[in-house]
Amino acid sequence: MAGYFGTDTQQRLQAQAEASAEFIASTPGACQAGRTMGCDDPRIFGWDRIDEILGRDGACGFRLIDTDNVDDIRSELESRGCRFDTWDVFIADHDTALAASKRLVDRPLVDGYFLLPTPNAAESKQVKDLQAMMASAGLVPFSGSMLTGEIASATTIAITDADANVVSTAHGYMPHNAYSPYRQYAWGGLVAVAESCRGQGLGKYVNALMIERVFQELGASHVYELVSASNLPSRRMVEACGLRLEPTLTCGIATHRESARFTK
């Protein structure tokens, strides 16, 4: 378990989520939120545990929550001095996402860009370069051991320019445990393209490749991605890969009221 990246708080939370991998796997309602501890069913997981996590970590992730329950969750959190920032959920099943994504990855990669092999060493320069690229695009990266699949089944894509600078990334993993109805759902994200390289289709390509791998390598039945309401390029990118807004589901992060939004 290693390769932590970001502010002291971000690194502490990554370490805590990793150290709790066994607890997450064996506890109904828990899930691996990557950057923080997480739950996908607060009713089963229990508010005592959520309180413990908020008290210890100052943050807790909520994944694939029924949108009908968001107001109740928000008011529970507000009564604890916390804020609840949410993201829209875009989902597709295996056949739909794979068909759309295959059309994108079957085309050659834009000239002058190169696909790197999957990173496999959590503390390597390659992983640090990927994390720095994600951070420069406004994302909070995962730890090296999450990115290399040491904690949960995962796939990480990296594309470089001709000078070997990482210019694009994407990551997919399996966040949900055996008790969850979403146990075969892969999460896709950490999709970033260097500002100078945007608008050429790299985002769609890297996202499509990540989707192909979560089905072919991780055995997922569905893939979901989180998009903040104002992020139009991200929304169009995931829609081009076959995903559609699923308004009945919501993801979010609870943090203390005065904290900044956790990630883009």
Ligand X SMILES: CC(C)(COP(=O)(O)OP(=O)(O)OC[C@H]1O[C@@H](n2cnc3c(N)ncnc32)[C@H](O)[C@@H]1OP(=O)(O)O)[C@@H](O)C(=O)NCCC(=O)NCCS
- Contacting residues toward ligand X, per CB under 6 A: 137-139, 189-193, 198-204, 231-234, 236-237, 240, 264
Contact 62, 38 (CB under 8 A): yes
Question: Shortest distance, CB of residue 237 to ligand X, whole angstroms?
Answer: 4
Q: Which is nearer to ligand X, 176 or 204 (CB)?
A: 204
**Residue holding tokens 């979010």?**
252
Is 46 or 201 the residue whose CB approaches ligand X more closely? 201
Q: Which amino acid is at 184?
A: Q
Shortest CB 114 distance to ligand X, Å: 16
**Backbone phi, then psi, for 123, in 5-degree steps?**
-100, 10
Cβ nearer to ligand X, comparing 3 with 203: 203
- By beta-carbon proximity to ligand X, the closer residue of 49 and 198 is 198
Q: Between 65 and 208, whose beta carbon lies closer to ligand X?
A: 208
State the Cα–Cα distance between residues 15 and 9, nearest whole angstrom.
10
CB of 99 to ligand X, least distance (A): 16
Least distance from ligand X to the Cβ atom of residue 241, Å: 10
Q: Smallest distance, Å, CB 216 to ligand X?
A: 21
Q: How far is the CB of 124 from ligand X (least distance, A)?
A: 23
- Distance, CA of 126 to chain centre: 19
On the CB side of 160, CA atoms within 13 Å amount to: 12
Q: b/e for 100-113, b at 16 or more Cβ within 10 A? A: bbeebbeeebeeeb
When the beta carbons of 122 and 170 are compared against ligand X, the nearer one is: 170
Phi and psi, residue 73, nearest 5°: -65, -45
Strand order across the beta sheet in which 185-193 lies: 30-32, 37-39, 59-66, 244-256, 82-93, 222-227, 185-193, 166-173, 154-160, 114-115
Q: Report the residue closest to ligand X, judged by CB.
A: 203
